[in-house]
Structure formats: C-alpha cells, structure tokens
Amino acid sequence: MPTDRNGLTVLTVDECMRLLSSHVPRVGRISFVSDNKPVILPVNYAFHEGSVVFRTDPGAKLSAASGGEYVAFEVDSIDTTWEEGWSVLVQGRAEEVTDPDEVERLENLPLRPWGPGPKAAYVRIMSTDISGRRLD
C-alpha cells in the first residue's frame, strides 16, 4: 500500500467506506465554520449510500446544512497500547434532508439520537472527497 510523506499508509476510498460503514461506535466529528469561527462537534452517524447521515435539532449544524455549506467529517480508531490506528476524512456539502420519502428511508437506518432532544432533522454530507490514513 502507498504511504504519505510521513510514512502513514494511505487508505483506498473503498477501505475508507468500509471503515465508515463498520466502525463501532458510529461517532465522529463534523467541522464547519459558524460566525467566522471553526466549530468541531461530535455526532453519531450512519454511512448510507456513500454519504454520512446524522440527526440534529435547530442550531449551528442544521444552519450549516440548510445553507449547503462545505463541511468536513472525521472518524478514527486508536489503540493506545499498540500505538496504531486509522483516521478517515469525508469532505463535502451538507444538506438538510426534507423530502418526506427520503426522510422515511433514513428513519429506517440504525441512527438513534444519543443526546437529549428529538433530533428530528436529518443532515446528509454529500461527499466530494473521502481519504484516510493508517498508522501501523
């Protein structure tokens, strides 16, 4: 497998998508800009048809999605004993899913809110770039 300039193994897009689909717990971090400041927030997610999907309530994440902003999403796994792990980065436009048929399909995903509140809005990140690295 190819390595990057730091000697980390570069993951293929297929490997990144497999990790996004299978990693448990399905918790990652979404990054976007709000009020001219970078924001990074944890979300539980599902990887569905090539997109990251999460639920949220009104607030900064939903505003970013409603505005179709370009966001980044990162998920990783680290083994501190063996000092190894991997990281996957998804970049793309966020969008609120409002079509009733699409929302109904997303409601069947294994995606239940962990935090308080109904988290009734669904947000999808339409990936334009998926990349990853592994430290062995």
98 part of a folded domain: yes
**Domain extent for 37:** 11-135
- Please report, for the domain that includes residue 51, its CATH number: 2.30.110.10
Query: What pLDDT is attached to residue 22?
Result: 94
Profile the chain (136 residues) by mean pLDDT over runs of 10 residues. 86 97 94 95 95 96 94 95 94 97 95 89 96 94
Query: What pLDDT is attached to residue 1?
Result: 78
29 part of a folded domain: yes
6 part of a folded domain: no
The whole-angstrom separation of Cα 75 and Cα 96 is 21
Give the number of domains in the chain: 1
109 part of a folded domain: yes
54 within 8 A of 30, measured Cβ to Cβ: yes
Query: What pLDDT is attached to residue 114?
Result: 85
**Nearest one of 52, 65, 56 to 114, comparing CA atoms:** 56
pTM of the model: 0.92
